[in-house]
Chain A
Amino acid sequence: MTTTAAARRPRTRTALRHRLAERGVDRTLLLILPGALAVLALFCYPFLYGLQLSFQPAKGGVLGAYRAFFSDPFARKSIWSTFSLAIPASLINVGASVPISYRMRREFRGKRLLLAILVVPITLGTVLTAEGILEFYGPAGWFNRTLHWLGLADSPVHLTMNYTGVLLSLIISGFPFSYLLTHSYLSGIHPSLEKAAATLGAGWWQRFRHITFPLLLPGLMTTFCLSFVMAFAVFPSALMVGDPDGKTHVISIEVYQAALERFDYVQGCADAMIMTVLMLAVLAAVTGLRARLYSGATGGKG
């Protein structure tokens, strides 16, 4: 009795285990659990909590907080301010990275040093960059002084406490980021492809236009996405070097002020959800474009 049961049970159990293992499900997968649970508890749960909280405003019904956001012209304008900063900043960053990293794609002396210096502004962080920008580009700073000394400007150019200041901070911390990414994508394209084109008589523009650029494009779109994510979430520098009550009243400032200055957590959560949806929409659009351009193409090393 016991022997037959013992003989039968392991057989069925191994059968199930085998079937699962064939599809890749075995005990190794348990290793994912701690990390996934942590992300679920610390990211998904708060996010969903915020989502349901945003539907429970004190007044105005289920969608009251969202209606409040869109009916307040000042809050509504923050969407425009965010996009008018994030899109030019990421376009400038990616646009400048492509020709420069294309020119610099070969090995040369000091390249590693160059890359190392480029990392500096990323690690400095936005707060320090903003502090430096305030003083360097300020009315009495070295930049304006140099312009005056060179005779390029009679009165100090206003570069801080406005739109330009925030754009400058986004370029200073964002350009190295996109340059390094573009550089790593470019070095993933095998040089022999270009050499082959050169052998067939293609000029540098033809080589770039028809060989390198198409191969680089998926990587460029990823770079654009990531630098857009960074620029979209601009927060400390928009407060410090921008004009937080005017042209650089970006959506993250709106979120922050709702939640931690007016202590209206419901409104803050609703604004955060609007912010997330807007950003994911842009990412989905770029990713969709990327997938459409490159479905079925060969050799698209991203």
Chain B
Amino acid sequence: MTTVLPARPATTGPTAPPERRTLALRPGTWLAWAVLAFFFVNLAGVIATVLVNSFSRSWFNSWLPHGWTGDWYSHAWREFSLGQVLTTTIEVTLLVVVISLVLAVPASYALARRSFPGKKLVTTLFVLPILVPPIAYGIPLATVLYKVHLAGTITGVVLANLVPSIPFVVFTMTPFIEQIDPKIEAAARMCGASTWTVLTRILSPLLLPGMLAAGILVLVRTFGMFELTFLTSGPTSQTLIVSLFSAVNSAGIRAPQSVDAMAVIYTGSMAVLLLIALRFVNPTQLVARSSD
């Protein structure tokens, strides 16, 4: 088992790793693939059931539904007023992305470039919103928002969603800024550039890829953020995922296919966002919550 040390394949290019062929030889590898495959089959089943049901006329006790129809989509669109919900969703996510970038990028610049007394404290301040469960701080936050009459409005939803987004941008951007050489800024200053010039001509172009990545990550997360939006939104400020949850939870009066049609719309928009996101960021970046 341990002696499988492949000779370097003669035909492959310099980038192709020589280990590739050992994949077929080890039983452990097959087991790992089998577990992954089982997981993927279940995952595909979970998604496909929703998809198939959303196109079905009626589906009881059989492998496939009796008859197909696309009516549920227009039905769901009308029943859940998805046009308004989608507008709210887009409005909220874009506002959260822009505001969290504006607030958090300067902070991550300072955190990346300076070490100062109390830095640990500031880092803890930014870590806590990521660690504390959204429900746990969402309830007090909703209480405060009700007190200042912001709960149920789009402003309230945006404010609530900023709480996890700002730390998330800070922890995505800080390592990114750390790897930009400070000598570049120093050199620009040596050549007589003002702070404004350094900011617009030197830093901005260098920061742009990182900001794009962080922005897309926040976009995906806010789009899928359920708990906070659920706790702080009102009837006119629901995002797609909250209205999906309400539709499922008040089921019985509604056709499940119609709910599933909405779920498919949600999945579809998420898939589009994901495809865009994966062009700019690494898959592991989507899950890492802190730089640790």
Taking beta carbons and an 8 Å cutoff, which residues of A are in contact with B?
23-26, 28-36, 38-40, 42-47, 49-51, 53, 96, 99-100, 103-104, 106-109, 112, 114-133, 135-136, 140-143, 145, 172, 175-177, 180-181, 183-184, 198, 203-204, 222, 226, 229, 232-233, 235-236, 239-240, 252, 255-256, 259-260, 265, 268-269, 271-273, 275-276, 279-280, 283, 302
Given A42-B163, A183-B284, A184-B284, 14 more pairs with CB closer than 8 A: A29-B116, A32-B106, A34-B103, A43-B129, A46-B141, A49-B143, A104-B32, A125-B226, A126-B226, A132-B263, A136-B46, A233-B135, A240-B249, A276-B137
Q: How far is the CA of A265 from the CA of B36 in the complex (A)?
A: 44
Q: A269 to B139, Cβ gap below 8 A?
A: yes
Residues of A contacting B29 with CB < 8 Å? 103
Taking beta carbons and an 8 Å cutoff, which residues of B are in contact with A?
1-2, 17, 19-20, 23, 26, 28-29, 31-32, 35-36, 39-40, 42-43, 45-47, 49-50, 53, 60-61, 63, 102-104, 106-111, 113-117, 122, 125-126, 128-129, 131-137, 139-144, 159-160, 162-163, 166-167, 170, 220, 224, 226-227, 230-231, 241, 244-245, 248-249, 256, 259-260, 263, 266-267, 270-271, 273-274, 278, 283-284, 286-289, 292
Q: B284 to A180, Cβ gap below 8 A?
A: yes
- Considering the complex, give the chain B residue whose CB is closest to the CB of A132: B46
Residues of B contacting A114 with CB < 8 Å? 36
A-B contact pairs, 5 of them (CB 8 A): A25-B117, A35-B107, A120-B271, A131-B263, A279-B136
Candidates A44, A106, A109, A268; contact of B125 at CB < 8 Å: A44
Q: A100 to B35, Cβ gap below 8 A?
A: yes
Residues of A contacting B61 with CB < 8 Å? 140
Residues of B contacting A276 with CB < 8 Å? 132-133, 136-137
Q: A272 to B135, Cβ gap below 8 A?
A: yes
Q: A252 to B135, Cβ gap below 8 A?
A: yes
- Considering the complex, give the chain B residue whose CB is closest to the CB of A106: B19
Q: A36 to B122, Cβ gap below 8 A?
A: yes
Q: How far is the CA of A176 from the CA of B60 in the complex (A)?
A: 32
Residues of B contacting A198 with CB < 8 Å? 2
3 closest cross-chain pairs (CB), A and B = A50-B140, A233-B133, A132-B46
Candidates A103, A107, A127; contact of B248 at CB < 8 Å: A127
Residues of A contacting B245 with CB < 8 Å? 127, 236, 240
Candidates B49, B136, B286; contact of A119 at CB < 8 Å: B286
Q: B125 to A36, Cβ gap below 8 A?
A: yes
Residues of B contacting A135 with CB < 8 Å? 49-50, 53, 256, 260
Residues of A contacting B227 with CB < 8 Å? 233, 235-236
Q: B50 to A119, Cβ gap below 8 A?
A: no
Candidates A50, A104, A125, A180; contact of B139 at CB < 8 Å: A50
Candidates B45, B117, B220, B230; contact of A23 at CB < 8 Å: B117
Residues of A contacting B23 with CB < 8 Å? 106, 108
Q: How far is the CA of A96 from the CA of B116 in the complex (A)?
A: 41
Residues of B contacting A131 with CB < 8 Å? 50, 244, 248, 259-260, 263
- Considering the complex, give the chain B residue whose CB is closest to the CB of A125: B224
Residues of A contacting B31 with CB < 8 Å? 103
Q: How far is the CA of A252 from the CA of B138 in the complex (A)?
A: 11
Candidates A29, A119, A272; contact of B114 at CB < 8 Å: A29
Q: B134 to A24, Cβ gap below 8 A?
A: no
Q: A123 to B274, Cβ gap below 8 A?
A: yes
Q: B286 to A123, Cβ gap below 8 A?
A: yes
Candidates B20, B43, B162; contact of A120 at CB < 8 Å: B43
- Considering the complex, give the chain B residue whose CB is closest to the CB of A201: B2
Residues of A contacting B108 with CB < 8 Å? 35
Residues of A contacting B167 with CB < 8 Å? 39
Residues of B contacting A233 with CB < 8 Å? 133-136, 227
Q: B110 to A240, Cβ gap below 8 A?
A: no
Q: How far is the CA of A31 from the CA of B112 in the complex (A)?
A: 11
Residues of B contacting A29 with CB < 8 Å? 110, 114, 116
Q: A32 to B46, Cβ gap below 8 A?
A: no
Q: A32 to B122, Cβ gap below 8 A?
A: yes
Say whether, besides A34-B107, A142-B45, A181 and B133 are in contact (CB < 8 Å): no
Q: A302 to B292, Cβ gap below 8 A?
A: yes
Say whether, besides A115-B284, A126-B226, A204-B2, A43 and B137 are in contact (CB < 8 Å): yes
Q: B135 to A275, Cβ gap below 8 A?
A: yes
Q: How far is the CA of A233 from the CA of B122 in the complex (A)?
A: 25
Q: B53 to A204, Cβ gap below 8 A?
A: no
Q: B289 to A115, Cβ gap below 8 A?
A: no
